[in-house]
Amino acid sequence: MSRLDDFIRRMTAQKLLLEHAAGLIAGLDGPAFELGLGNGRTYDHMRQIMPGREIFVFDRSVSAHPSCVPDGDHMIMGDIRDTLQYCHPRTKTKIALIHVDLGTGDATADLAKADWLAPLLADHAMTGGYVVSDLPIDHPEFERLESPPGTEAAKQRLYRKRG
Amino acid sequence: MSRLESFIRRMSAQRVLLDHAADLVRGVPGPILELGLGAGRTYDHLRERLPDKEIFVFDTHLMGDPDLIPDRHHMILGDIRETLGFCLPRIGEPAALMHNDIGSGDDIHNAATRAWLAPLIPPLMAVGGVVVTSFTLDLPGFEKLPTPEGVPENRYHFYRRTMD
């Protein structure tokens, strides 16, 4: 299988996993976080599959397609490690779904990132809220859920904050 | 349709396209020219589908997975607008396949690229060689081929060199 084959499989699985997560939070009140805007594709998909839900997007800079950039209130620019600690005045409430799209492709760099990220996720996520993450989340407040059928190829894994 | 969905469709179409191109040029002598390495995914796909062919890749810089970067001889680094016209001594013979992956979603950008790119292509292609491109190119001595099923008609274009 070429990297192109693998990539198509992974993107398709990621899309299904996000749609699954959107279904899981249908009964939860609270915004969503998108950590890593990138080119804005998954953000665009999230806002389509969860219409009406507020989505805050975090990234160091904006390099997305102009049609996929959130408004100024919902685009939180800066080093995510810092902004996640100080964004409460803007985000206000606990978060129903956090999509982490910060993987670097280097396993060690990913471990280091996941290490500082996990406590911040625990701080923001509501009890019973969900995280879809391409970084491994190893934290006592989160349990990993099984990926639904058809999403096994995704790099992202599904977690739930324990009640 | 979200941009994620349209991206997945585009990548899937690109795979159909490259597989079709590989079938067309399997018997044509000459290397493959890949314009734009990017993340290296289509380069990887081409080397998997055409393992016997040499692939030269052109880009201004390297990014992505080190496993997907060609060796020094086959990675032609620099502004493609400049390197393409001078690559023949290195590639050795006219190419069997050129995959132009430097198009963008912006028509103006594509028009500007088309203007300098098209005249550079004919001297680099073997008779029977195929050019796959995301925007139309004016290529004298080439015939336009139909796109394979599963690929949107106006999104990608196939040209085959018919004469010297």
Q: Are A58 and A84 in contact (CB under 8 A)?
A: yes
Please identify every stretch of chain A with a pLDDT value under 50, giving residue numbers as ranges: none
Give residue A18's pLDDT: 97
CA neighbor of B163 nearest in space, from B138, B115, B135, B129 = B129
Q: Which residues form the domain of A18?
A: 3-161
pTM: 0.86
Give residue B153's pLDDT: 76
Give residue A161's pLDDT: 98
Domain residue limits, chain B: 3-161
Q: Do A41 and B42 touch (CB under 8 A)?
A: no
What's the total number of domains in chain A? 1
Right CATH number for B3-161 from 3.40.50.720, 1.10.645.10, 3.40.50.150, 2.60.40.1890? 3.40.50.150
Q: Which residues on chain A place their C-beta less than 8 Å from a C-beta of chain B? A: 2-5, 7-8, 11-12, 15, 39-42, 44-45, 48-49, 65, 67-68, 105
Q: Do B8 and A15 touch (CB under 8 A)?
A: yes
Q: Do B2 and A45 touch (CB under 8 A)?
A: yes
Q: How far is CA A68 from CA A53, A135, B107, in A?
A: 16, 23, 19
Q: How many residues does chain A have?
A: 163
* Reported ipTM: 0.87
Q: Report d(CA A104, CA A117) in Å as an integer.
A: 14
**Residue A22 belongs to a domain with what CATH number?**
3.40.50.150
Nearest by CB to A4, from B5, B8, B44: name it: B44
Q: Are A62 and A37 in contact (CB under 8 A)?
A: yes
Q: Do A5 and B14 touch (CB under 8 A)?
A: no
From B17's Cα to the closest Cα of chain A, the distance in A is: 12
> Which of A1, A2, A11 would best serve as a mutation to test chain B binding (most B beta carbons within 10 A)?
A2
pLDDT tens per residue, range B49-91:
999 999 999 999 998 788 999 999 999 999 999 999 999 999 9
Q: Where are the beta strands (DSSP E) in chain B?
A: 32-35, 55-59, 75-77, 95-100, 125-133, 142-145, 157-161
Mean pLDDT in runs of 10 for chain B (164 residues)? 93 94 96 95 96 97 90 96 95 97 88 96 97 95 93 88 85
Q: What percent of chain B has pLDDT over 90?
A: 85
Instruction: Give contacts of A41 with chain B, Cβ < 8 Å.
Output: 2-4, 7
